Amino acid sequence: MGEWRTTQINEMSYVALGEFAEAFSMKPAKRRKEPREIGFAGESHQLVVKTGTREVIVDGVRHWLSFPVATRTGQAFVSLADINATLGPAMSPASVKQIGKVKTVVFDPGHGGHDIGGKSAYGYEKDYTLDVVKRARRILESKKVKVVQSRLSDSFVDLAERPKMTDDYDNPIFVSIHFNSAEWKPSASGIEVYALPPLGFPITGKAPDPILDRRKCEGNAIEPASFVLANTMQHTLLGKTGGFDRGVKRARYAVLRYSNDPSILIECAFLTNAKEAENIHSSKWREILAQSIADGILAYMGLANENRQPAKVWDYGRKSTDEFVWEE
């Protein structure tokens, strides 16, 4: 893609959104109802932004930028940092140099033992996460993939120790499984996948923090690959389960900070949503979820091991995400 022409906005380097779109063979799409929403589309890619916010839709899936989309002289601009860390890798995952071969999957069933996690009217998060991991493990092992777990039973493992397991295996990735809760908003629903933010970048939903954002951790070195794993997983989960798209997000969870290998944390659905709680308690639905997680891992392995482009959400027959849900 060569060098981007940059404009200084708020003491940061920004690139005209039109220039980025052109580099990926996209042209302006039809006018949207909301004037602040701007779309581009091509044969292979779609991009929709909402100026003044950090929320964007990339190839049919919601993402959260680190810095708001800005406007100058009637044009939309996106930060160079977000092009390098989010938009570019989302559209061209094969360009990410940190992606290496994958031989082992380290699953982390969230919580365990005294830490029950969230709960619904039917059960505890710690039990559901372990069940889903066991199912996904069975599916992957049937494909001759080596799989290990941070816990095999209802026990608690220190958060910092879970990702350190990857040090004992060849070419691993780390996948932590959780279920969401929002007691204050029972209508909250859907799927979100987290990766660590790049060093110096804020987490999703928070303003930049000059101290926390600049604290180095092990996961920083492999962050670009972690993002591609998160993006690949979100496309697959949405396409396979039909869940609501809460987006690919950034967080500094301990299991992401302490990892030396590509790592993600999946919030699969909400225990505090009546319908999703029923689904989570259904063994049939958990089997569908486990298959979807396994498929997401296999899609990433296809990219890592065979340079095979991962499927997009629309390849599964699902419509692209099209609505904006949250304005920061």
Do 45 and 176 lie in one domain? The reply is: no
Do 49 and 79 lie in one domain? The reply is: yes
Say how many C-beta atoms besides its own lie within 10 A of residue 50's C-beta: 20
DSSP 206: S
Contacts of 144 (CB under 8 A, 6+ apart): none
Q: Which of 45, 69, 91 is the last residue of a domain?
A: 91
CATH number at residue 198: 3.40.630.40
CATH number at residue 61: 3.30.457.10
For 41-81, write each residue's pLDDT tens digit: 999 999 999 999 999 999 999 999 999 999 998 899 999 99
Q: What share of the chain is helix, strand, coil (3-state, %, to 5)?
A: 35, 25, 40
**Helices 283-306 & 274-281, crossing angle to 10 degrees?**
80
Range of the domain at 32: 6-91
Q: Which residues pair with 63 in a beta bridge?
A: 56, 248
Query: Looking at the domain assignment, is residue 259 inside a domain?
Result: yes
Do 148 and 14 lie in one domain? The reply is: no
Do 191 and 268 lie in one domain? The reply is: yes
Number of domains, the chain: 2
Cα–Cα nearest to 186, from 121, 261, 124: 121
For 142-183, write each residue's pLDDT tens digit: 999 999 999 999 999 999 999 999 999 999 999 999 999 999
Do 117 and 205 lie in one domain? The reply is: yes
* Per-residue pLDDT at 328 exceeds 50: no
Query: Looking at the domain assignment, is residue 114 inside a domain?
Result: yes
Do 26 and 131 lie in one domain? The reply is: no
What is the residue-averaged pLDDT of the chain?
A: 96
Do 118 and 165 lie in one domain? The reply is: yes
pTM: predicted TM-score of the whole model, two decimal places: 0.97
